[in-house]
């Protein structure tokens, strides 16, 4: 049996499967078969060493990776011997469903997604009379998410001495409202599990005793709170195995800390390090080129990927006059590949920011080439889907005020904002929004007409609640949509709308609801509960809805490409200021991450890789002229065809501490996270929203002097002692807190506190 598990593995993979000592760090390079090694290790533990499946916990980062691991284990072990395999967030949900009452919540808690979070934050800002032009809800959400990724509660933020008590107070109020609604956001799933284990020793001991083996995949992507969770799950006799690749750590902007994998064997001194260096995915040319790029990073674990695959074709480097020509080249090349018999599903186009996709989409549509783009509106985030699910959320968790507020007048029932606000005044006292609806009627706080409408809504929800116990989920949802008036109104719009666009929109929303019901049918056939369904929906990503068998080209950001592979890959926009991104500046940590991102993108390619850059690119209505990316100069010339980029001098790199205190520059990191999230999720045709006033002033560059602010204007050329010459792009605020955004030729865009920016006429 052991021989059967080891036959298909190389020597390092076999060592990883058989190791029985202390902690194990599996350094697994791109395409090196880490999932095979990990699943065979789990199978060996169960089949050869007799470890009960329920005592093994395997944690991944994506639903896709978890599903793939379960499928492979089922093939090796059978369906009845599967261990715990789930993402970090799904694992925490399972733990909290059993234990969260220790923290003052009930087990039927709701999971808020990004939209719910922003709606709640908008309410808070309105209540506190803070204008959104002064503090955007998304910026506040970024601050809160950043704190949670670092394991900081509002109380911990205050104790760490963060310099913006206003933000901390809003964070505290936000948590208070979540708890009042018996709701958790994504960050809470991790943070509250850590809090639970730290505060309740009996719970911590029970879970430590349950799992004798803990395996964590994609370890380079863990943030501070996930690392702490791992430590708390490990008891005295837990065997720990972590798998990852520091060269693929690309989520620093989301809180990931590459130091977790770089310093793992310092924290766990008995660690055995096994390197998986044989690549099974890419040609030798692609692998050598990608390695040449990432090797320029100094703070990394030494490894040398190699492959038995043939050299393959040289990498095609395309230089275009502008972004339109670049898109034209890519689409024409895709057409040529298609004529040669290549499948469209085998082709992917990557870009650094979502804004780059617009010209690609237009070019693909012009040639009638089907494509799928990640980063658009997710299915479960569509208006009609959210409306439908909020009816279910309210039935499962009546304390969920955000869900109840959304549906009380959806479809329109004549219940206005003033009535809703009057109900909300009793929400805390009543213990939830639905309870407040009943209380406001008992106390006769509403006029006769408003009271009649609210009573009708309360009775409607009570009726749906009675059906909940006896109807299967798809039928319940269909009846809710019909009896609430939701689908009848859409059907009427589809028939009577004044324009064809209006009719088509209403029909599209009806089609989406039909798709929702079909998905519920599949869910019901698996025997899962309504609560299970709502959990799965809350934790779902757009990648989970991607069907790789459909014949179409894939468009996505480089960050989204992580974990995927395609025979044919295009990486666009290989230009200074775009990739590496202007926000990377000259700081070593940011630039290292950009280099790792380039490595990740290149190693997605299996057979053929194209790299392209443009001499000029239109960005938000103006032309930018950027030099070719320095990453192109890192690639050995013999591996490239086409134009050879000249050598590019990198800006002087400054030393950055490997780790900082949890509170250090939290608001500054929040700025970075917000900007990166806009790059990943903003619709391609929409410019990112204007920059907000930062929660706290950004760090000032060295050797700064006061600036004469009187003569500064948009478009003015200026010089900075460290960054050189640049152009003023934006002015915001006033007085001592006025900020200036400058595009510098050397490092791209920088936002500076004007008083101390030290800018001189340029």
Give the active site residues: 34-35, 217-218, 248, 604
300, 293 contact by CB (below 8 A): no
296: Cα separation from own chain's centroid:
27
369: CB partners within 8 A, 6+ apart: 331, 334, 335, 338, 344, 552, 553
d(Cα 429, Cα 436) in Å, to the nearest integer? Answer: 8
According to DSSP, residue 686 is labeled S
Tokens found for residue 686 = 């929409």
- Could you tell me what percentage of the chain is helix, strand and coil, using 3-state DSSP and rounding each to the nearest 5? 50, 15, 35
CB–CB of 586/291 below 8 Å? no
Q: Residue 378 phi/psi, 5° resolution? A: -70, 150
Q: What is the dihedral of CA 91, 93, 98, 104, to 10 degrees?
A: 140
CA–CA gap between residue 564 and residue 603 (Å, rounded): 9
Residues ≥6 apart with Cβ < 8 Å to 424: 401, 405, 433, 436
577 — alpha (psi -120 to 50), left (phi > 0) or beta? left
- Whole-number Å distance between alpha carbons of 414 and 594: 52
Write the CA distances from 149 to 144, 227, 256, 436, 442, integer angstroms: 9, 10, 8, 34, 43
Q: How many CA atoms lie within 13 A of 460 on its CB side?
A: 24
Q: How many helices (H) and strands (E) does the chain have?
A: 30, 21
Report the b/e string of 564-574 with b at 16+ CB within 10 A.
Answer: bbbbbbbbbbb
Say which residues have a Cβ less than 8 Å from residue 259's Cβ, sequence separation at least 6.
658, 659
Block residue for tokens 């390619």: 605
* Residue burial 334-355, b: 16+ Cβ < 10 Å; e: rest: beebbeeebebbbbbbbbbbbb
Q: State the helix-helix crossing angle for 473-483 and 500-525, rounded to 10 degrees.
A: 150
Give the span between the Cα atoms of 762 and 760, in whole angstroms. Answer: 6
User: Whole-angstrom Cα distance, residue 189 to residue 94?
Assistant: 10
Residue with tokens 């058989």: 18
Q: Residue 581's closest CA among 248, 351, 740?
A: 351
Residue 674: CB atoms within 10 A of its CB come to: 25
């Amino acid at each position: 049996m052991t021989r059967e598990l080891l036959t298909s593995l190389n020597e390092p993979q076999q060592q990883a499967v058989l190791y029985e000592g202390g902690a194990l760090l599996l350094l697994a390079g791109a395409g090196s078969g880490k999932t095979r090694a990990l699943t065979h290790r789990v199978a060996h533990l169960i089949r050869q060493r007799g470890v009960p499946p329920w005592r093994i916990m395997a944690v991944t980062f994506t639903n896709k990776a978890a599903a793939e691991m379960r499928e492979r284990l089922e093939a090796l072990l059978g369906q009845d011997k599967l261990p715990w395999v789930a993402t970090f967030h799904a694992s925490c949900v399972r733990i909290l469903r059993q234990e969260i009452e220790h923290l003052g919540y009930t087990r039927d808690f709701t999971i808020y997604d990004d939209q719910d979070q922003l709606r709640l934050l908008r309410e808070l800002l309105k209540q506190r009379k803070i204008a959104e032009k002064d503090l955007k809800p998304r910026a506040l959400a970024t601050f809160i998410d950043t704190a949670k990724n670092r394991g900081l509660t509002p109380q911990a933020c205050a104790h760490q001495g963060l310099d913006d008590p206003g933000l901390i107070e809003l964070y505290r109020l936000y948590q208070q409202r979540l708890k009042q609604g018996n709701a958790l956001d994504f960050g809470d799933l991790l943070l509250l599990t850590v809090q639970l284990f730290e505060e309740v020793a009996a719970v911590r001991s029970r879970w430590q005793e349950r799992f004798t083996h803990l395996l964590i995949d994609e370890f380079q992507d863990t943030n501070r709170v996930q690392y702490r969770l791992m430590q708390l799950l490990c008891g005295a006799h837990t065997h720990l195995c972590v798998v990852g690749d520091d060269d693929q750590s690309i989520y620093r902007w989301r809180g990931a800390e590459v130091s977790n994998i770089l310093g793992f064997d310092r924290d766990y001194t008995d660690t055995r390090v096994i390197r998986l260096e044989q690549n099974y995915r890419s040609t030798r040319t692609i692998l050598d080129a990608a390695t040449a790029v990432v090797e320029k990073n100094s703070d990394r674990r030494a490894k040398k990927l190699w492959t038995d695959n043939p050299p393959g074709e040289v990498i095609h480097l395309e230089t275009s006059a502008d972004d339109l020509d670049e898109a034209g080249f890519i689409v024409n090349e895709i057409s040529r590949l298609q004529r040669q018999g290549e499948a469209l599903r085998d082709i992917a186009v990557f870009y650094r920011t979502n804004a780059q996709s617009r010209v690609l989409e237009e070019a693909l549509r012009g040639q009638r080439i089907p494509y799928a783009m990640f980063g658009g509106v997710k299915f479960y985030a569509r208006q009609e889907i959210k409306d439908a699910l909020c009816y279910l959320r309210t039935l499962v968790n009546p304390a969920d005020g955000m869900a109840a507020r959304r549906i009380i007048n959806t479809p329109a029932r004549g219940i206005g904002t003033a009535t809703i606000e009057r109900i909300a005044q009793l929400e805390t006292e009543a213990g939830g929004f639905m309870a407040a609806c009943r209380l406001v009627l008992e106390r006769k706080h509403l006029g006769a007409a408003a009271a009649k409408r609210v009573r009708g809504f309360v009775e409607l929800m009570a009726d749906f609640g009675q059906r909940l116990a006896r109807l299967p989920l798809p039928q319940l949802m269909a009846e809710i949509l019909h009896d609430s008036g939701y689908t009848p109104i859409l059907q009427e719009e589809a028939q009577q709308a004044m324009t064809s666009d209006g009719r088509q929109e209403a029909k599209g929303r009806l089609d989406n609801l039909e798709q929702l019901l079909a998905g519920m049918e599949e869910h019901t056939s698996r025997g899962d509960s309504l609560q299970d369904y709502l959990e799965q929906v809350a934790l779902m990503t757009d990648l989970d809805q991607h069907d790789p068998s459909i014949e179409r080209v894939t468009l996505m950001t480089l960050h989204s490409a992580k974990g995927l592979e395609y025979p044919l890959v295009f990486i666009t926009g290989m230009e200074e200021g775009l990739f590496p991104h202007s926000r990377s500046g000259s700081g070593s940590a940011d630039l290292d991450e950009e280099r790792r991102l380039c490595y990740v993108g290149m190693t997605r390619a299996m057979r053929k890789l194209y790299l392209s850059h443009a001499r000029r690119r239109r960005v938000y209505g103006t032309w930018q002229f950027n030099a070719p990316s320095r990453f192109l100069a890192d690639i050995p010339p013999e591996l490239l065809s086409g134009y050879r980029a000249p050598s590019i001098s990198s800006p002087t790199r400054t030393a950055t501490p490997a780790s900082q205190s949890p509170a250090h520059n939290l608001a500054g990191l929040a700025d970075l996270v917000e900007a990166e999230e806009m790059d990943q999720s903003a619709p391609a045709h929409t410019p990112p929203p204007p920059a907000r006033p930062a929660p706290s002033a950004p760090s000032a560059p060295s050797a700064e002097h006061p600036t004469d602010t009187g003569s500064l204007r948009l478009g003015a050329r200026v010089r900075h002692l460290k960054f050189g010459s640049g152009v003023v792009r934006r002015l915001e605020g006033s007085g001592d807190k006025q900020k200036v955004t400058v595009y510098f030729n050397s490092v791209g865009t920088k936002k500076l506190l004007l008083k101390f920016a030290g800018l001189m006429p340029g």
